[in-house]
Structure 1
């Protein structure tokens, strides 16, 4: 899986590095792992600066629906996402709008800005 992540239960924090070629299944597997390890309510940083994806509108909608469905599991922690530099934040914003569901979520062009913002967010 081109997604490597750590879940720090003490800090209630998930940090993921998306690297290389990703497909919808990779992201679904990552989401399942976070949920399975009780990390849904934790703050999450997704570093996608070295990743690229093969996806279409149906994939984006499916992922948005999955993220929205997680709202029924209980509170979800804030999400900061940093895409690869060649991608605009438009796709990030679209995905965030589809799956936001009342939690703080934001896309960033800088990993430092993402970390700073995430540290300022309240715990879920």
Structure 2
């Protein structure tokens, strides 16, 4: 699977790494794993710097609407995306669609993303 999910309950952190071509079905499966594991309130580092996620703006916005409607949606944790600086895509679209719901930022390095999450009030 080109998406790897690591859950750290001790640190209340998810680390998600996507590599290669990613389909909308794979993204939906990942979201379902987070809901099933009751970890949406954890902070998230999502590294999409070496991936291409095949989702349109409409699909991303529909996913954001669905996530808002889910039980427990009010307690979603912050997201730090690690992106490739020369590529626009899923991270930009998702950040734009959810910026009113939670803290979300785009970074060029894993180090900066982790530091930002650690500096946020808990």
Question: Does residue 1:56 correspond to 2:66, yes or no?
Answer: no
Total equivalences in the alignment: 122
Deviates more, 1:104-113 or 1:62-71: 62-71
Moved over 4 A (4+): none
SS in 1 for 2:41: coil
- 1:17 is aligned to 17
User: Which ranges in structure 2 are unaligned for 5 or more consecutive residues?
Assistant: none
- 1:98 is aligned to 97
Query: What are the equivalent positions in structure 2 for 1:31-70 lying under 5 Å apart?
Result: 31-70=31-70
- 1:30-63 Cα offsets, whole Å, 9 max, x none, are 1110111111110000011111122223222222
Cα separation, partners in 2 of 1:70 and 1:109, compared to 1, 3 Å: farther
Alpha carbons 1:67, 1:99 under 8 Å: kept = no
Displacement of 1:69? 3.0
Aligned-residue Cα RMSD (Å) equals 2.1
Alpha carbons 2:80, 2:113 under 8 Å: kept = yes
User: Which ranges in structure 1 are unaligned for 5 or more consecutive residues?
Assistant: none
SS in 1 for 2:11: coil
TM-score by length of 2: 0.85
Displacement of 1:24? 1.2
